[in-house]
Amino acid sequence: MHVLLGLEGSDESVETLETTIERVLETGDDLLVAVVDKPEASRSPSAVVDLAKARLEEADIDAEVRQLEGDPGSELVDLAEREGVDQLVIGGGTRSPMGKVRLGPVTEFVLLNATTTVKLVR
Amino acid sequence: MREHSSRVYPEEPCGPFPTPPGTYTDPEGREIALSVVTHPEDTVRGVADGERTPIDVLTDMYQQFDPADRAQGIPPSSEDRIRRWLEPLLENGVNVVASHDGSVIGHATLVPDTDEPASLTAPGDVEWELAIFVLQDYQRGGIGTQLLEHLLGHASSLGIDRVWLTVERWNGPAISLYKRVGFELCGAESFEQEMSILLGAGV
């Protein structure tokens, strides 16, 4: 399966990266990683690119890591269509202090607009 | 250390609200007691078995919670997960329970929006997230409103002023209830609607 993993600079994205790496090691899926720019995130896009490359190398996975400019949701959906991927993987929401799951506007955009299957990682 | 917040609060403070302890008779004639959970080790007023701590009686309540009434991933479903979810709520939060015939049937809670709840000195320094849960057999009888108002009254007496919550955007009845009490819509449009209220000082 051809999988596109969308990351931004949150802790949630780092966990999503780890979970996806574990999955790819089991399945041998063909992975493409795209890093989007979400200004309020704690890590910069280039820091996330470096982190993803380092983790993929450690796991001995050969995957391209791309940095996307512009609106995160629409860039991910566009790339998924252009590359004809089978699945678009993104983080499954942050938790409020109360423990409520919060899905942000990027997640909502992707869920409503993607023409591929979308996987939320929790 | 007033933490940075991008959340918008109403300009006008709300209140006063009733403070617990209180009693309420629901439309079915059931006597409901409203009580503060003072300390994780203390027994809860209105709950029959004095040997059991708040986390025990609340775990009982959440195990009876209808899974269809879960919202945004809470409450969790297994006993183990319920306890792990309740621990920080009881340790760091402000909690009011509704009980009937010696059992807890409703719970309203405020959790401080901070990474270091232990170092919190003044409750007014942070924002507090609110949630309310009422067992299915007791819903639609005004108990949620009673829990909400008594929790806000108690919070105000502790010096808490900024309270927010999220509610699923399609949950019209809940949004109406929060609006009646004084919450206003705020925050980004997403699956969840954020609402906030500013509490007046004291009661």
Task: Report ipTM (2 d.p.).
Answer: 0.82
Which token pair is A79?
């790339």
The pLDDT assigned to B48 comes to 58
Residue in B132, B164, B192 to test binding to A, most A beta-carbons within 10 Å? B192
Q: Which of A93-102, B74-83, B149-158 has the lowest mean pLDDT?
A: A93-102
The whole-number pLDDT of residue A4 equals 98
Count how many domains chain A has: 1
pLDDT in tens, B123-179: 999 999 999 999 999 999 999 999 999 999 999 999 999 999 999 888 898 999 999
The mean pLDDT value for A65-74 works out to 96
Q: Is the pLDDT of residue B201 over 90?
A: no
Long-range CB contact pairs, A65-69, < 8 A, 24+: A65/A33, A65/A34, A65/A35, A66/A32, A66/A33, A66/A34, A66/A35, A67/A34, A67/A35, A67/A37, A68/A34, A68/A35, A68/A36, A68/A37, A69/A37
Average pLDDT in the B94-109 region?
Answer: 96
The answer to whether the CB atoms of A101 and B131 lie below 8 A apart is no
pLDDT confidence of A31, banded at 50, 70, 90? very high
In which band, very low, low, confident or very high, does the pLDDT at A73 lie, cut at 50, 70 and 90?
Answer: very high
User: Residue B147, Cβ neighbours under 10 Å: how many?
Assistant: 26
Contacts of A98 in chain B (CB under 8 A): 74, 89, 109, 111, 129-131
Question: Is-contact A7 A34, C-beta < 8 A?
Answer: yes
pLDDT at B117 (0 to 100): 87
Contact B129 A102 (CB under 8 A): no
Rounded average pLDDT over B118-125: 88
- Residue ranges per domain, chain B? 22-198
Q: What is the pLDDT of residue B1?
A: 38
Q: State residue B108's pLDDT score.
A: 98
How far apart CA A41 and CA A65 sit, in angstroms, is 19
Q: In angstroms, rounded to a whole number, what is the distance separating the alpha carbons of residues B153 and B74?
A: 24
Q: What is the largest CA-CA distance in chain A?
A: 39
Q: What is the mean pLDDT of residues A6-32?
A: 96
Which single residue is written with the structure tokens 């890591």? A65
pLDDT tens, B9-57? 999 999 999 999 999 999 999 999 999 997 766 777 667 566 788 999 9
Give just the sign of the alpha carbon dihedral B135, B138, B141, B143. Answer: negative
Q: What is the mean pLDDT of residues B55-68?
A: 94
Check CB contact under 8 Å for A100 and B190. Answer: no
Region of residue B148 (phi > 0: left; psi between -120 and 50: alpha; otherwise: beta): alpha
Backbone phi and psi for residue B139, each to the nearest 5 degrees, phi listed first: -80, 165
Give the tens place of pLDDT for each residue, B144-155.
999 999 999 999
Q: How far is CA B105 from CA B48, B75, B109, B153, in A?
A: 13, 14, 14, 20
Query: B3: pLDDT confidence band, cut at 50, 70 and 90?
Result: very low
Topology at the third CATH level for domain B22-198: Aminopeptidase (3.40.630)
Beta carbons of B166 and A103 less than 8 Å apart: no
Domain, as residue range, for A60: 2-121
Cβ separation B131–A108 shorter than 8 A: no
**pLDDT value at residue B187:** 78
Distance between the two ends of chain B, CA-based, in angstroms? Answer: 25
CA dist A122 and B133 (Å) reads 24
CATH code: domain of residue A7: 3.40.50.620
pLDDT of residue B2: 44
Give the pLDDT score at B202. Answer: 53
Please list every residue in chain A whose beta carbon sits closer than 8 Å to the beta carbon of residue B71: 100
